[in-house]
């Protein structure tokens, strides 16, 4: 028996063939997925390594938010960074997600394949940090590509080394978060280091992948003119791969989650950027020749 499917303590469940499942609406949460039952810790670690299961926080159907067209966005659990402005601190720990079978996820993509093709949409993996589960995400992408479904990875690129070139080949578009252009600022914002993001963006470009840059504008944290210029110069190293840059103004919509989880929120009293600040940052990026939204 193939080691990837040789679970000791249970038999894999497939999606339910029931009227209830068939009539489910487009909604968030984890509706419509079967989860492994009875797998011990060793089984789960092995299945996670091979990509037979993935730990998922939630999923949703949306339009023009996480890539082109109508998309199924899957929020994976687990993230190595601790961004001060994180909207989803409930996705930080992988163990807090629900294990979902690869077959269940592929079946869900197949169910909406016609919708994706009709709208120019597809599947987006977000998080958390989806690159924490490279085997699962890349196997789903590979199956999606075989169906003719567009694939999009929403990532910080911090786990660059987790992805092989073959995994990158199944990515059509990357929403790449360049959180800062200055290494010290990047560490202050995220707790991590900047270089892996640069390396991943350059690898994407070298393999002919499209990139949408995302930059979160936080007054007093990421808005320094020199920092913005450094972000722009990093993006220049990605060449023609960059289709546009999204300047995302900071907001407080994630604050209730920090409170609910009883995590001290570092931006408790932070205000969003002014129009003057937003216009100045957009103009900076435009001066480097980028299309900016």
Residue pLDDT, tens place only, 79-92: 999 999 999 999 99
Average pLDDT over residues 138-146: 98
pLDDT of residue 56: 96
pLDDT of residue 101: 93
pLDDT-based confidence at 131, cuts 50/70/90?
very high
Using a CB cutoff of 8 Å and minimum separation of 24, what contacts does 37-44 make? 37/10, 37/13, 38/9, 38/10, 39/7, 39/9, 39/10, 39/99, 40/8, 40/9, 43/7, 43/8, 43/9, 44/99
User: How far is the CA of 264 from the CAs of 34, 73, 85, 91, 178, in angstroms?
Assistant: 35, 28, 12, 16, 24
Question: Minimal CA–CA distance to 267: which of 86, 80, 79?
Answer: 86
* Structural domains of the chain ordered from first start: 3-287 (3.20.20.70)
pLDDT of residue 31: 64
pLDDT of residue 32: 63
Question: Minimal CA–CA distance to 137: which of 53, 222, 24?
Answer: 53
pLDDT-based confidence at 29, cuts 50/70/90?
low
The answer to whether residue 8 scores a pLDDT higher than 90 is no
Q: What is the pTM of this model?
A: 0.88
- Phi, psi for residue 39 in degrees, rounded to 5: -75, 130
Beta strand 173-177 pairing with 150-155: parallel
Question: Minimal CA–CA distance to 78: which of 162, 140, 143, 198?
Answer: 162
Beta strand 122-126 pairing with 98-101: unpaired
Question: In terms of pLDDT, which residue wins out, 150 or 22?
Answer: 150
pLDDT-based confidence at 33, cuts 50/70/90?
confident
Q: Taking all residues of the chain, what is their mean pLDDT, rounded to a whole number?
A: 89
pLDDT of residue 30: 73
- Phi, psi for residue 248 in degrees, rounded to 5: -105, 105
ω into 128 cis (within 30 of 0): yes
- Chain centre to alpha carbon of residue 15: 24
Average pLDDT over residues 97-115: 95
Residue 99: beta bridge partners? 55
How many CB atoms are closer than 10 A to CB 117?
15
Contacts of 42 (CB under 8 A, 6+ apart): none
pLDDT of residue 38: 64
Average pLDDT over residues 141-169: 97
Query: What are 166's two structure tokens?
Result: 């073959």
Dump pLDDT digits (tens) for 158-216. Answer: 999 999 999 999 999 999 999 999 999 999 999 999 999 999 999 999 999 999 999 99
- Chain centre to alpha carbon of residue 45: 21
Contacts of 241 (CB under 8 A, 6+ apart): 201, 204, 205, 208, 209, 210, 211
Question: In terms of pLDDT, which residue wins out, 31 or 155?
Answer: 155
Query: What are 128's two structure tokens?
Result: 């958390």
The answer to whether residue 19 scores a pLDDT higher than 70 is no
């Amino acid at each position: 028996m193939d080691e990837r499917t040789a679970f000791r303590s249970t038999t894999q469940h497939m999606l339910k063939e029931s009227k209830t499942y068939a009539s489910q609406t487009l909604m968030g949460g984890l509706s419509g997925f079967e989860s492994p039952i009875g797998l011990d810790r060793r089984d789960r670690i092995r299945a996670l390594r091979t990509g037979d299961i993935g730990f998922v926080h939630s999923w949703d159907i949306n339009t023009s938010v996480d890539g082109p067209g109508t998309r199924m966005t899957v929020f994976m659990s687990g993230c190595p960074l601790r961004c001060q402005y994180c909207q989803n601190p409930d996705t930080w720990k992988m163990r807090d997600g629900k294990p979902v079978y690869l077959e269940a996820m592929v079946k869900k993509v197949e169910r909406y394949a016609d919708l994706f093709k009709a709208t120019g949409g597809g599947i987006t993996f977000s998080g958390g940090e989806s690159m924490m589960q490279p085997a699962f995400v890349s196997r789903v992408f590979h199956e999606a590509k075989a169906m003719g479904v567009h694939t999009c990875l929403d990532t910080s690129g911090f786990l660059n080394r987790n992805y092989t070139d073959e995994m990158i080949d199944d990515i059509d578009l990357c929403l790449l978060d360049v959180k800062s252009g200055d290494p010290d600022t990047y560490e202050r914002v995220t707790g991590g280091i900047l270089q892996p993001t640069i390396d991943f963006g350059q690898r994407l470009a070298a393999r002919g992948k499209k990139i949408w840059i995302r930059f979160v504008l936080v007054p007093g944290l990421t808005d320094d003119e020199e920092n913005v210029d450094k972000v722009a110069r990093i993006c220049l190293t990605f060449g023609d791969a960059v289709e546009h840059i999204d300047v995302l103004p900071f907001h407080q919509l994630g604050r209730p989650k920090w409170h609910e989880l009883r995590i001290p929120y570092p931006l408790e009293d932070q205000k969003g950027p002014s129009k003057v600040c937003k216009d100045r940052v957009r103009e900076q990026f435009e001066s480097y020749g980028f299309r900016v939204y």
